[in-house]
Amino acid sequence: MKKLIVSCFLILNAWVVFAQGSKAPAYPLITHDPYFSIWSTTDELTASPTKHWTGADHSLIGMIKVDGETYRFLGNAGKVYKTILPAGDEVNYEAAYTEDKPAEEWMNTGFDDSKWKKGIAPFGDNESIVKTKWLSKNIWIRRTFSVSDLNLNNLFLKLSHDDDVEAYINDELVYKKIGWTNKYIYLPITDATKSKLKKDGNVLAIHVINNVGGAMLDAGIVEDPKAAAGNTVLTATQNSVKLNATQTAYTFTCGKVNLSLTFTSPLLINNLTILARPVSYISAKVKSTDGAMHDVQLYFGASTDIAANTPTQAMTTQQYKSGSLSILKAGTV
């Protein structure tokens, strides 16, 4: 009986190890250091944008055209929002604020904030980011804004807060949380709240409590615009993914060809020259599945966000040659 139990345990343990080995929490694509590090966070390489390990989009896109049909085999389109009301990472906007507890109706559109102080956002204690220092426990801000076109698609509150927050748009509570975030988050605005927007005289009102150290407040409103009509891009069928010490390898079916795609970061600890070289390799091989000839073209793209800290930073690009290499270079201004 004991032998049977031990055998069952070993079989179960082997199955668990196999299950853990066949899937990963995230799949390394380019891995060099904490800054140059790009991963696929989904089992299907096409199911999401590729990301930095912090969760920020560091988008790689791969497509293959087979006999005139285009298939996407790497990455996915990330969210690109249209700004309705810019946050402080885009525009140094002015808002009315107070650090003294106001009247109960402080969030209402008809409230008189003329005696409040005026400050430039973001507000907080990190001098490298903020434009107005906020070092007390509480801050209340009010921002009046206009909307030129009320024919809007899905709207989101773009918010960075530290710590507890409550946010209102035109008297409606749109978000409340105990806690903090160290980045901008995008919070859906309901259709009911959206319907209350008007051409002029809208009010975004926010209260943040600094409970446990670190202070930050910045907010705006963005729209998720309707997708533009364009050429149809099909999704390649992923057949497999395999991990080893220095590579992540995928196979796909794209129409009448199979595609093998391998990401290699040769981080070999017994070869310091290669280990220190900030280069990853992406190799692709295609093979006909029906024995016939096919017209195949490969496309690979890398977002300039990979070279930025935040998506709103201004970028500069350059194309040049070095020997037989044709090089595209991107960086922040």
Q: How far is CA 202 from CA 81, 85, 96, 210, 223, in A?
A: 20, 11, 14, 26, 16
Do the strands 216-224 and 154-162 form a parallel or antiparallel pair, or are they unpaired?
A: antiparallel
Cα atoms found within 13 Å of the Cα of residue 205, Cβ hemisphere only = 22
Q: What is the pLDDT of residues 279-322, one digit of tens each?
A: 999 999 999 999 999 999 999 999 999 999 877 788 999 999 99
Closest Cα partner for 55 from 241, 183, 247, 155? 183
pLDDT number for residue 22: 66
Average confidence (pLDDT) over 115-129: 95
324 Rama sector, left if φ>0, alpha if ψ -120 to 50, beta otherwise: alpha
Average confidence (pLDDT) over 12-25: 56
Cβ atoms within 10 A of the Cβ of 193, count? 18
Q: What is the pLDDT of residues 160-203, one digit of tens each?
A: 999 999 999 999 999 999 999 978 999 999 999 999 999 999 99
Q: How far is CA 323 from CA 280, 320, 326, 328, in A?
A: 19, 10, 8, 14
Q: Write the burial class of residue 64 (CB in 10 Å: 0-12 exposed, 13-18 middle, 19+ buried).
A: buried
Q: What is the pLDDT of residues 230-276, one digit of tens each?
A: 678 999 999 999 999 999 999 999 999 999 999 999 999 999 999 88
Amino acid at position 309, single letter: N
Which CATH number among 2.30.40.10, 3.40.50.1980, 2.60.120.260, 2.20.25.90 corresponds to the domain 82-224? 2.60.120.260
35 Rama sector, left if φ>0, alpha if ψ -120 to 50, beta otherwise: alpha
CA 305/CA 58 separation, integer angstroms: 6
Q: Which two tokens stand for residue 297?
A: 């073209």
Percent of the chain with pLDDT over 90: 81
pLDDT number for residue 9: 47
Please say if the pLDDT value at position 119 is more than 70: yes
Model confidence at 333, pLDDT cuts 50, 70, 90, reads: very high
Cβ atoms within 10 A of the Cβ of 123, count? 23
The predicted model scores a pTM of 0.77
CA 180/CA 124 separation, integer angstroms: 13
Note whether 61 and 87 are within 8 A (CB): no
Residue whose tokens read 């017994």? 270
Model confidence at 78, pLDDT cuts 50, 70, 90, reads: confident
Please say if the pLDDT value at position 62 is more than 50: yes
Residue whose tokens read 């309705």? 84
Residue whose tokens read 């093998």? 260
Note whether 212 and 158 are within 8 A (CB): no
